[in-house]
Chain A
């Protein structure tokens, strides 16, 4: 692996991204519009005195989902395009390492993930008036990790797909089960034991655990194990992405 080649690849991916207005809109505005929609849904719900407004309790968890979804889709479709356009074959016949390609993508989209996560958090708190009990930087950290996780999973999943349609089919297979079992719909410890075990094996569960902890507590002291687990999933997915990239194909 070489820093120079990884960096050159990340720069190239970012240049391509900059040219693509639709994707930029999908990354920046779409999550904000969806969050506004969520905020508006609760406008007429009466809040009992002494209770938390529903947007404040539901909002933070949902905020962690959009970056995961969007980054997964964008990453898997972009890398697939690279393979279909023949440039991947070209790269694989060049001196670049397989890890340089995967980490180049991860760096470029990771940077985008940081921007997107920041935008989502800043907008929710300062525009939509989300009242978040815990430290905001910790929420931001989890949401950015979520977005990077989306990128890493997208890189791993795209190697299993041969067409853009197949890449889209990965979405219900890889992302939706995580969403259902993450603890957003129902607390994980209230699910049947088997489902709880499955949810233990899925990365999004740890992001949602951390976000729930942060909404209920003023401190970030107990989210570090979740952060470490999320990082491990990210690294694992990236390694899988490198391992499944082939120089020689059929």
Chain B
């Protein structure tokens, strides 16, 4: 593996048009290596569009995306970047283990990887049932597990904790933290501002732009808010006031 010291992800001047909508007008950001970054913002703010652009699923109208020093979405990155789409995307008629075996073969992961990630996401005891028979939370974890095979260096996770119970959410965030400690870079999106407390860094999105890029304590200091929810409202109000003035 080539050594690379720059940021894990860097986006410069990204512009995305979906259908007739200018969804992301001009967005730039950097994600340092080994960080657990929360991409927070209300729904419709462009989180999924940004993540799709980073993994190379999204047609972009302009800008530069670099992941691990390579142009985003190119072939050498495809086994180094794991991606979980917002809607669980696995083969519903296969079992979790069969899904994992297939995706493991695509990234040339060791034969033991399916079992390893099943244990990681806590699905070992329902690994052999068709995915259709699993609960919503279990399904979300199968979809997440698929992205973990092959130990990708960068993980782009689109709302992986939404709709899960508090215990499961806590366990997943603990797992994300562990992966970051082991050296992976994670970008995790959520429209629930509370999840800010679990991240090293925050990227707060609104209307296709980045409102804030920094740590939670910086955010609270800057906005003089008591929690992330209030801070977001303060940021949004400030942005609206600036727009009205301009």
- Which residue numbers of A lie inside 8 Å of B, CB to CB? 4-5, 8-9, 12, 15-16, 19-20, 85-87, 89-96, 247-250
Cα-based distance from A94 to B102 in the complex (angstroms): 12
Check A250 against B78 for contact (C-beta < 8 Å). Answer: no
Q: Of A16, A19, A95, which is within 8 A of B106 by CB?
A: A95
For residue A176, give the distance in angstroms from its CB to the closest CB of chain B.
Answer: 30
Q: Of B83, B87, B105, which is within 8 A of A8 by CB?
A: B105
Check A19 against B146 for contact (C-beta < 8 Å). Answer: no
Cα-based distance from A93 to B73 in the complex (angstroms): 7
A-side contacts of B196, CB under 8 Å:
none
Q: Does B162 contact A (CB under 8 A)?
A: no
B-side contacts of A87, CB under 8 Å:
89-91
Known A4-B105, A15-B94, A95-B106; contact A90-B89, beta-carbon cutoff 8 A: yes
Q: Of A8, A20, A93, which is within 8 A of B55 by CB?
A: A93
| CB interface residues, B 110-139, toward A, < 8 Å | 130
Known A8-B102, A12-B91, A85-B89; contact A93-B19, beta-carbon cutoff 8 A: no
| CB interface residues, B 146-195, toward A, < 8 Å | 146
Check A247 against B105 for contact (C-beta < 8 Å). Answer: no
Check A249 against B83 for contact (C-beta < 8 Å). Answer: no
Q: Does B58 contact A (CB under 8 A)?
A: yes
For residue A203, give the distance in angstroms from its CB to the closest CB of chain B.
Answer: 31
Check A95 against B58 for contact (C-beta < 8 Å). Answer: no
Check B57 against A249 for contact (C-beta < 8 Å). Answer: yes
Q: Give me 16 A-to-B residue pairs in the complex whose CB atoms sit less than 8 angstroms apart, sorted by A's number.
A: A12-B94, A12-B98, A16-B94, A20-B93, A89-B89, A90-B83, A90-B89, A93-B56, A93-B83, A95-B106, A95-B107, A96-B106, A247-B57, A248-B58, A249-B57, A250-B19
Check B56 against A90 for contact (C-beta < 8 Å). Answer: no
For residue A215, give the distance in angstroms from its CB to the closest CB of chain B.
Answer: 41
Cα-based distance from A86 to B59 in the complex (angstroms): 16
A85 — nearest CB in chain B belongs to which residue? B89
Cα-based distance from A87 to B83 in the complex (angstroms): 11
Known: A86-B87, A93-B55. 16 other contacts (CB 8 A): A8-B102, A12-B91, A12-B94, A85-B92, A87-B90, A90-B85, A90-B146, A91-B106, A93-B78, A93-B81, A248-B56, A248-B58, A248-B59, A248-B60, A249-B59, A250-B18
Please list the 4 inter-chain residue pairs (A to B) with the smallest Cβ-Cβ separation, ordered nearest first.
A86-B89, A8-B105, A95-B78, A12-B102
Contact residues on B (Cβ < 8 Å of other chain), bracket? 20 to 34
Cα-based distance from A92 to B85 in the complex (angstroms): 12
Cα-based distance from A94 to B78 in the complex (angstroms): 5
Check A8 against B106 for contact (C-beta < 8 Å). Answer: yes
Q: Does B246 contact A (CB under 8 A)?
A: no
Q: Does B75 contact A (CB under 8 A)?
A: yes
For residue B89, give the distance in angstroms from its CB to the closest CB of chain A.
Answer: 3
B-side contacts of A247, CB under 8 Å:
56-57, 73
Check B85 against A86 for contact (C-beta < 8 Å). Answer: yes
Cα-based distance from A20 to B73 in the complex (angstroms): 34
For residue A72, give the distance in angstroms from its CB to the closest CB of chain B.
Answer: 21
Check B93 against A89 for contact (C-beta < 8 Å). Answer: no
Cα-based distance from A219 to B120 in the complex (angstroms): 63
A-side contacts of B103, CB under 8 Å:
90, 94
Cα-based distance from A140 to B18 in the complex (angstroms): 48
A-side contacts of B60, CB under 8 Å:
248
Q: Does B79 contact A (CB under 8 A)?
A: yes
A-side contacts of B56, CB under 8 Å:
93, 247-248
B-side contacts of A16, CB under 8 Å:
91, 93-94
